[in-house]
Amino acid sequence: MIDTIGFDGDDTLWHNESLFSMTQDRFRTLLGHAADPETLNRRLLDVERANLRFYGYGIKGFVLSMIETAIDVTDGRVSGHDIATLVAFGKTMLAHPVELLDGVEAALDALAGRHRLLLITKGDLFDQESKVARSGLAERFAAVEIVSEKDAATYRRILDRHGVDPRRFLMVGNSVRSDVLPVLEAGGHAVHVPYHVTWAHEEAKPPADGYRRIDTLRALPALLEEFRP
Amino acid sequence: MIDTIGFDGDDTLWHNESLFSMTQDRFRTLLGHAADPETLNRRLLDVERANLRFYGYGIKGFVLSMIETAIDVTDGRVSGHDIATLVAFGKTMLAHPVELLDGVEAALDALAGRHRLLLITKGDLFDQESKVARSGLAERFAAVEIVSEKDAATYRRILDRHGVDPRRFLMVGNSVRSDVLPVLEAGGHAVHVPYHVTWAHEEAKPPADGYRRIDTLRALPALLEEFRP
């Protein structure tokens, strides 16, 4: 029996990676004179990964990594105008409307009566708070937890704070790496809802079993029925 | 009688603004060919303030604002090399050792027996978590709260979560705007411990009375005695 359900935010409740992906398309177009698309993708990912320890996750770090990559691939000859364009890309992302995924509200409504719902989202505090507010979903959750990393210790701390037995906790999210593996490690249940794009850094091999996978949040209420005694 | 004491982090427990101030000195030197120091300070502050709604507080937003200002004051002629230097300034700041202010550990030790201590710090989640960890002070606090803005609603939410009566809560910090005024508004007590530099955006007129001011955290334990019945 599940009494508490945790939901990831980015790419589970609202679109996110598609916005990064679209921005990265524009980045490749802007720097197309300096390197081919594959090189730009690889160099950017390398820079992003190397910068995680400085910046953590989020749009501001992404913009700084695009700027750094632009300088690298042009041997420092990138123009101030192009850098300003990258800064503007970031502001466009930060101000972008929060677009809910299909079926999110109906699924939350269907589950709210029987379960306590938590929003557990990773990333930049300011940006995530802004997205939660703009999503219009905040009132549907008993609590919103914004964390810098999702590992088993993070989930244990959150469950402990809310007095939740891991065996009665189910996490729902699009990332095997962040929403499935660490939850299983912490003794909870997990449902994977893949998004159509995954940031290369979030890619992880799913476990052989021990979790469920659905194509859309619309399927979640029916799946919860299976957990009932 | 005070049972819970909240401490601000930046410029209350550890040095912070001095690092921004030092970086801004370097920024003025780097861009000295384009504008005089006062103009650079004013333009940067204007850009930072306009960007707060996009970036919130923290080093990454500061770096993006330095980059934007550098492009502005050079009419886009800033070199990729100089932009790379600004990005490097940011990484230096993010990796900078956390240096505790004088007397912090002794004050926390003296207060820990009789009071529950909370760390309530504003800024970038990833950066603040990293600073808390590197400060070596995390274990001394019952809880660490990292928030994106410190207003009366923020303090009410935190006190409510920890079951603290505002009348038995005392906040200690260097910012009148963030650590004193909103706490008094929420019905709590406040002690102002000024730092030798204050970011222009944080400057605020102190209230006429209703709070205490000390020069160093060393004076805090004695001041707490005054609150005892």
CATH number of the domain encompassing residue A122? 3.40.50.1000
Q: State residue B201's pLDDT score.
A: 79
Task: Write the DSSP assignment of B118-175 as a string of letters.
Answer: EEEEES-HHHHHHHHHHHT-GGG-SEEEEES---HHHHHHHHHHTT--GGGEEEEES-
A88 and A150 co-located in one domain? no
The residue of A48, A53, A55 whose CB has the most chain B CBs within 10 angstroms, and thus the best one to mutate to test that interface, is A55
Token digits for A2?
Answer: 């599940």
Residue range B99-106: mean pLDDT, rounded? 95
Are B67 and A87 a contacting pair at CB < 8 A?
yes
At B13-44, the pLDDT tens digits run: 999 999 999 999 999 999 999 999 999 999 99
Question: Rounded to an integer, what distance in angstroms lies between the CA atom of residue B53 and that of residue B34?
Answer: 27
Please choose, from the candidates A215, A228, A6, A1, the residue with its C-alpha nearest in 3D space to the C-alpha of residue A117: A6
Residue B166, amino acid: P
B68 and B80 co-located in one domain? yes
Question: Rounded to an integer, what distance in angstroms lies between the CA atom of residue A106 and that of residue A121?
Answer: 20
A10 and A22 co-located in one domain? no
Residue range A119-144: mean pLDDT, rounded? 93
Q: State residue A229's pLDDT score.
A: 62
B119 and B213 co-located in one domain? yes
CATH number of the domain encompassing residue A62? 1.10.150.240
At A91-126, the pLDDT tens digits run: 999 999 999 999 999 999 999 989 999 999 999 899
Contact B122, B147 (CB under 8 A): yes
Task: Report the interhelical angle of B59-73 vs B37-55 (nearest 10°).
Answer: 130
Contact A201, A45 (CB under 8 A): yes
pTM: 0.90
- Is the confidence at residue B59, as pLDDT, over 70? yes
- The residue range of the domain holding A50 is 17-95
Q: What angle do CA A172, A182, B118 make, to 5 degrees?
A: 95
Task: Write the DSSP assignment of A106-129 as a string of letters.
Answer: HHHHHHHTTSEEEEEEES-HHHHH
CA distance A137 to chain B (A): 19
* Closest residue to B64, CB basis, from A64, A125, A147: A64
Residue range A57-74: mean pLDDT, rounded? 97
A82 and A133 co-located in one domain? no
B176 and B202 co-located in one domain? yes
CA distance A221 to chain B (A): 30
Residue of B nearest to A95 (CA): B54
Terminal-residue alpha carbon distance, chain B: 6
* Closest residue to B84, CB basis, from A54, A63, A76: A76
- Is the confidence at residue B204, as pLDDT, over 90? no
Q: State residue B229's pLDDT score.
A: 63
Chain A residues with CB-CB distance to B80 below 8 A? 70-71, 74-78, 83
Count the domains in chain A: 2
Q: State residue A183's pLDDT score.
A: 98
Widest Cα–Cα separation across chain B = 65
Give the strand pairing for A116-122 and A4-7. parallel
